[in-house]
Amino acid sequence: MKNAFQIVIIGGGTAGIMTAAQLLKANSKLDIAIVDPSDMHYYQPAWTLVGAGDFKLSKTARSMASVMPNGVKWIKDKATAIHAEENKVDTAENGSLTYDFLVVAPGLVMAPELIPGLKESLGKGVVCSNYTDPEHTWEVLRNFKGGNAIFTQPTTPIKCGGAPQKIAYLAADYLRKKGLLDKSEVVFATPGSVIFGVPEIRRTLMHVIDRYGIHFKPFYAPESIDHENRVITFKSVHPEENQCVVNEGNTIGEEMHGDMTIKMPYDMLHIAPPQQAPQFVRESDLVNAAGWLDVDINSLQHKKYSNVFGLGDVAALPTAKTGAAIRKQVPVVVGNLLSLINNQAANDSSYKGYSSCPLVTGYGKMTLAEFDYEGNFTPDPKLKQMLIKDSSREHWRLYMLKKYGLPYLYWNKMLKGQKV
């Protein structure tokens, strides 16, 4: 088997496929290999709707072979190590691959073992996650008859940071429709200080929380899960001591233990597992102190190795890890790679941290958060063509965009190398 390539791309997810497709559109003669062991490629943004019974999981999946760009050599294997000094990538079954240029885009991996009790309980009984099995989330929600429905997320970075609250809103709306909301205590607990960092979006979401009567618990970091007794333990991460106070009335049965620990019973628990870069990335010399790919935040070029680029969820970028972010990152990486191939400087530093989070707030309701590194609200002017004057407010047209428009653009435009 050939083992030397002009460009090696690690990862056949959104970032890897889009990068290869756009490179080949620019120059069909490029010699590109994609390393990925997966049989299937998933459109994961729709898993939020799958977990609420409003989308079929089967419609989010296509074979990897069907999305692989023509002209790419697909090496169906796992990357196991990166030796950047030698321009070499080790694989599990196909030996070592050498490259002139490397694109690192393997995404991230779930690490439930970082929260004691989560690995043993996740996907069993009433502990569910759209990140791992959205159909199980829907099963748990359908079977829920009242009590504490807790939605939470870890202290690590996660893909689509808004997803844990989206399913909380959908679940609350589902319980309202079924006449169960009055018998339920819906809790959204987060290590963060606010419901969302963009002020325009935050205002809307606080109204949504009030509408459903959701208990919003900031500075709550999940610490452990007692699956047998259905109790989750949180640690207060408030910057000041003694600031984590159980609400008066305590309808959710919280218990304080000391100044920092809170125990909360659950009848349904949805959790985003802790997430981290894949082991072969963490063990390379390409990462920062936190274990994420150490690239320039504007050019996506590695800070030490000029022939290495990184994008997508594995990159150390201070913005949300979303497909929308990748959509803006790919053209920058492609432009810089083509410049280097043509013996020119990689001087495109135009990525300013754009990301977006389609925040579903109920069935048929959504607000669209678009923002940059500075937290500025940056709505796409094209939304006015959809008669949406203010995308920071809930709108049914935005929900239709989420359910129908974005999947179409993903499969038929983005993965085909078209800039959208």
**Alpha carbon of 398 to those of 332, 354, 357, 403: distances in Å?**
28, 19, 12, 9
The set of long-range contacts for 339-345, using a CB threshold of 8 Å and a minimum separation of 24, is 340/101, 340/306, 340/307, 341/6, 341/27, 341/30, 341/100, 341/101
Q: Is 128 a catalytic residue?
A: no
- Look up 244 and say whether it is catalytic: no
With beta carbons less than 8 A apart as the criterion, state whether 34 and 72 touch. yes
Residues 6+ apart with CB under 8 A from 153: 161, 164, 190, 191, 222, 271, 272
Of these residues, 110, 140, 149, 160, which one is catalytic? 160
Query: How far apart (Å, rounded) are the C-alpha atoms in residues 108 and 74?
Result: 20
The amino acid present at 224, given as its one-letter code, is S
Catalytic residue of the set 357, 359, 368, 414 = 357
Query: What span, in angstroms and rounded, lies between the C-alpha atoms of 8 and 413?
Result: 23
Q: What are phi and psi of 226, to 5 degrees?
A: -105, 95
Q: Kind and range of the H or E element at 200?
A: helix 199-212
Give catalytic residue positions. Answer: 160, 357
